[in-house]
Amino acid sequence: MEEFSAVLPYIGWVIAGAFTLGALGIAASFQTTRMKIKNGYPLEGMWGQSLKPGSDKHTAERVVLLTQENAQLRAELGSIKDRLANVERIVTDGGYHLGAEIDALRERALEGLKDKGEA
């Protein structure tokens, strides 16, 4: 009985502290939900199920715009792949080395002329 009488003067503070912590937890939960709604995040229930399906008009418009952008980017990527294939064909083609071979022949011809001129 002596232990209870020693804690009895502080019971009010304990109850007030518990009430304050509970109120702050509820306020934090409300604030989190408000920020999710404000920033467009989907709301979830206790077990992760969706409470608000994201099938409003803005979401449908975003899906259409993203689909169009995706198609444009795929077309651009296809054209870039075609260009790259052409560049690879030119580089690996024998005609690309033709200029180097012509320069080598010119150098040989100039060396041959120098040799004949000195003889």
How far apart, in whole angstroms, are the C-alpha atoms of residue 93 and residue 85? 12
Closest to 32 measured CA to CA, from 44, 20, 18: 44
How far apart, in whole angstroms, are the C-alpha atoms of residue 67 and residue 61? 10
How confident is the model at residue 52, as a pLDDT?
Answer: 64
How confident is the model at residue 95, as a pLDDT?
Answer: 66
How confident is the model at residue 55, as a pLDDT?
Answer: 65
> What is the reported pTM?
0.38
Q: For 44, phi and psi rounded to 5 degrees?
A: -125, 150
36 close to 43: Cβ distance less than 8 angstroms? yes
pLDDT tens, N- to C-terminus, the chain (119 residues): 678 788 888 899 999 999 999 999 999 999 998 998 888 787 887 777 777 655 678 878 888 999 999 999 999 999 999 999 988 887 777 666 777 788 888 888 888 777 776 54
